[in-house]
Structure 1
C-alpha cells in the first residue's frame, strides 16, 4: 500500500500506526472500562464516574492547550521540532506504562491525564511535520493514509490482541485484571517500536533562523502570527469552525465507552462493538481522501459533520447494544476522514517555515475544544441524571462548526 510514498512520507505515516494503539486502548475503550469497573466497585454512581472522567479529560487538555502556541513557535527553530516531539512522546509512553501498576481510580485518572498531555503534545509537532514530508499536492493523500494505517494497524491489531487476552486469559490462568494491565504495557511497547522510523527518517526541512533569545523572540513571533491569522479570513473562519466540530468529534471518541457502559451495554460486547470503528475507518478514511481530490476537502469535511450530527441525535434515544453498534458504524465512516482532511486543509494554508507556529494554534483550538465538549457532556449528564442527554448535547457543537465551515472559501 505504501510503495508510492517516499521514505519520509512512510515514516511519518507509521507514527499514526504507532500512536493509534493509545487512542483506542487508553483513550477510548479498555482504560475507560477498567476505570468504570473500579469506580463501580467503590460505590460511585455511573453518571458521576462519567463526570469525573470528563473533567479529567478537560483538565489534561487545558494543560497542554495553554502551552501549545509557544511550544509550536519554539518548534519552528532548527532541530527544536524533533526535540519537543521526543519529549512529549516520552511523557506519553512512560505514563501509559505506569497505568499498569495501580488499582486506585484517582491514580488512574492522574496517569491518564499525563498520557493525554504526552499524546497531545507530540501530535502538535507530528502534524506540523506534514509540511516537511509532503508537497502541497500530496498532503491530502499522505494525511488520509496516515489515519487509515493507524486504524487498520495501530488500532485494530493491538486492540484485538488485548481483548482476546482479556476475554479468554482466565482459561490459561491469567486473571482479567492482569490481562487489562498487560494491555497498557503492550500499548506503550507498540507506541515506542513503531515510532522508531519517525525518529530516524523524518527531518525538519522548513524553519526560521536560529535566535539567541528563543523565548523572547518566540513570544514576539507568537503575537505577530496571531495578528496574521486574524487578518487571514479563510484561515480564521476555518480555525473557529474546527474548534467546534473537532470538539464534538473528540468528545465522542473519549466518552463512547463510558457512555455505552452507562446505558447498560455489557463490557465485552462494548469492546467488540468498538472494534468496528477502526476496521471500518480504514477504507472510509482512504475514501475521504479520494473524494476530496474530486469534490474538495471542504465538502468532505461537511459530509462528516452531518454524519456525526446524526449520530448524536441517534444516541439520544439509544437503549440497546444493537443501537450502539449502529452508532459505532456511523462514527467509523467519518472519524478518520474529518481529522485527516482538517489537518491537510490547514497545512495548505500555512507558510511552511512557520508551520509549527501555526499548528500550535491549530492544536490549541483542538485542545481547548476538547475541554468544552467533555465538560458539556459531564455537566449535562450530572444535571439530568442521564448520559444520553450528555451525548445529545454535543450536537450543538457540530451545528455551529458546520455553519462556520460553510462560510469558508472552497479549497
Structure 2
C-alpha cells in the first residue's frame, strides 16, 4: 500500500504543468478568413482544450476593442501613443509588450511562455522586450516565422536578431537553412510545420454537395477547377485568370469556381476579368465567383482540381493552408514550382511533373489544367498522395510539438 501511494504521488508530480501562454501577433481581429489568424486561433483553442491558459495579445486598431473573447480565446489589444502610430516599426514593436505587462496585472498572473509570431527576424526583439516587461523574467521565449516578410526590415539577412529567443520555429526547411546561413543559431532552429484541423477538412461525397448547391449548376459530368483566397498579386490570381481563356480554347466545357471576399475583388481585377472577356457570352456560365462562403470544405469537396498559382511565397505561409486543406479533402492540387512548395511534396517526386507549373506563366497553368482534366487516373494519384501527406499537418500533432518545445525550454531554464 505504501509503495502504491508513493507511485501515485510520483505520477502526480510528473504531470506536465498547465501553462500561461502569451501569443503575440498583429492584426488579430474578428475577420478570420486569413490563414495566419486561423492558425494562431486554432493553436490557442487546442492549447486551451489541453488545460493551458493561452491569451492572444495584439495591436489595437480603431475598430477593435481593447479586450474581447473571440471563439473562446481571450484577446487583449493596446494602442500606443498617436505620436508613434504613423511609424510602422514603433507600432508593431511596442504595442504587444506593453499590453502583456497590463495583462499580467489585470489577470493577476505571470506568463510561463511568450510565443511571438512575426515574419520579420528584427521583431524577435519585440518578444525580448515583452519578456523584460513580464513579471517572470525567466519565461520561455519562442519566435515563429510563418513566411517571408514583404518588408525590407523583415529580411532574413537580419536573422541574428532571432537569437534573443530560446527557440525559433519555421514552417519550411528552406527558410530554416537561410536563417542559419545569416546567423541564427542552429541549436535554436526547429522545423514545425503549419497546421490545419483534419477533423474539419475531410473527404466528402462530391455529388451530394453539388446537388446541395443548385445555384452553381454543376452536374455529375462537369469538371470543376477551384481557386480560393484573396485576389492579390501575392497569390498570383491574375495568372490564373489569364489562363482561363487559354483552357477554354482547348476545352470549353471546363468549369471554374473562384472564391474570395467581396471587397477583395478590386477594380483592378474586375477590369482584368472584363478585358479577358471570361464573364461574357456563352462561356460566362462556366465561371462562377463565390463571395465569402461561411464554410470552405463543402465547396472543396465538390471540385475536381485546385489551382494555387503563387508567383512567390512572400507574405504567404510557406506551407499554404489552402494547399494542405485541399489535400486533406482528397482533392488534387497543382501549384507553382517554388522551393517551399516542392518541399511539401518532396516524398512524391514521381508526381512532380503533374504537380508543378512555372510561376507567373498562364500558358503553363493552362497546360497543367488541361493535362489533369484529361486524366482521371492521374488526378486520383495526386489526390491519394496528397491525402497521405496532409496527415502530417494535423492540428493535434503540431500542437503537441509546440507543447513539447515549451516544456523543454522551461526545463532547461530551470536547470
Q: TM-score, normalised by structure 1?
A: 0.23
Indicate the structure whose relative CO is greater, using CA pairs within 8 Å and at least 6 residues apart.
1
> Which one has a bigger Cα radius of gyration?
2
Structure with the bigger percentage of helix: 1
Structure with the bigger percentage of strand: 2
